[in-house]
């Protein structure tokens, strides 16, 4: 992995946990505009975050999704596979 890709993937991961600085956002967007590998990684990170937010464990230890959440998840997965 190139140094620029390593830095971009770290920024993409950090962006899920904290707001990036203006300079970090610019560097990440610039890199994602020219690197498909990192763009795919960024999309996958966002998708995993969405899935994590959609899934809630109920009192019985089962994951329960509403119909709307299932529809949203399917749409996210479909758009990711078409990208
Ligand atoms: Zn890259």
The pLDDT tens digits of the residues spanning 26-60 come to 999 999 999 999 999 888 888 888 777 777 666 66
CA of 63 to the centre of ligand 1 (A): 34
What is residue 13's predicted lDDT score, i.e. its pLDDT? 87
3-state SS string for the chain: CCHHHHHHHHHHHHCCCCCCCHHHHHHHHHHHHHCHHHHHHHHHHHHHHHHHHHCCECCCCCECCCHHHHHHHHHHHHHHHHC
Position 37 scores a pLDDT of 92
Report the separation in Å between the CA atom of 13 and the middle of ligand 1, taken as the mean of its atom positions: 13
Q: Does the pLDDT value for residue 23 go beyond 90?
A: yes
| pTM summary value | 0.63
Query: How far does residue 19's CA lie from ligand 1's centre (Å)?
Result: 20
Q: What protein residues have CB closer than 5 angstroms to ion ligand 1?
A: 5, 35, 38
Task: Tell me the domain boundaries of the chain.
Answer: 3-82
Does 80 have pLDDT greater than 60? Answer: yes
Average pLDDT of the chain to the nearest whole number: 83
């Amino acid at each position: 992995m190139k140094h620029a890709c390593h830095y971009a993937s770290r920024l993409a991961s950090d962006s899920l946990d904290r707001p990036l600085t203006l300079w970090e956002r610019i560097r990440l967007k610039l890199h994602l505009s020219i690197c498909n590998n990192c763009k795919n990684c960024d999309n996958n990170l966002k998708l995993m975050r969405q899935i994590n937010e959609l899934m809630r464990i109920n009192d019985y230890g089962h994951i329960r999704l509403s119909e709307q959440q299932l529809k949203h998840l399917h749409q996210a997965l479909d758009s990711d596979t078409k990208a």
